[in-house]
Amino acid sequence: MTLRKMTTAGSYNPVTGSVSGSATTDYSVTGYFYNYELMNVDQVRRGMRKCLISALDNVEPYDQDVILGNGDAVTITSVTTIFSAGTAICYICNVEE
């Protein structure tokens, strides 16, 4: 899958209501999507999933990054890093369509 990170924010034009001049960088990462567990569905909305990304790819995901994969584009809403002996091994990302 592809992790798309915003590298330049660009500028907002209040007249048109759009952002111009932004730039992104794409990274190839290893990961997979999965659904929330049934016991944690009280605040889950349609289009919400989780994505596990390997830390071996040396790219750390952040909120508002976009993940492209399986013909889908989702936005990361939060990231939890899993450590082993002080080293990041994976990232669990909450994502929304």
pLDDT tens, 36-68?
665 555 555 566 788 899 999 899 999 999 999
- What is residue 40's predicted lDDT score, i.e. its pLDDT? 54
Whole-structure pTM value: 0.76
pLDDT tens, 81-96?
999 999 999 999 999 8
Taking the domains of the chain in order of start, what are their residue ranges? 30-96
For residue 37, give both structure tokens: 């567990």
- What is residue 18's predicted lDDT score, i.e. its pLDDT? 78
Segment 9-20 mean pLDDT: 79
Sequence-separated contacts (24+) of 25-31 with Cβ below 8 Å: 26/2, 26/68, 27/2, 27/3, 27/57, 27/59, 28/1, 28/2, 28/3, 28/57, 29/1, 29/2, 29/3, 29/53, 29/54, 29/57, 29/59, 30/1, 30/54, 30/56, 30/57, 31/1, 31/67, 31/69
- What is residue 47's predicted lDDT score, i.e. its pLDDT? 65
Conformational region of residue 29, where left means phi above 0, alpha means psi within -120 to 50, and beta covers everything else: beta
For residue 77, give both structure tokens: 């809403």
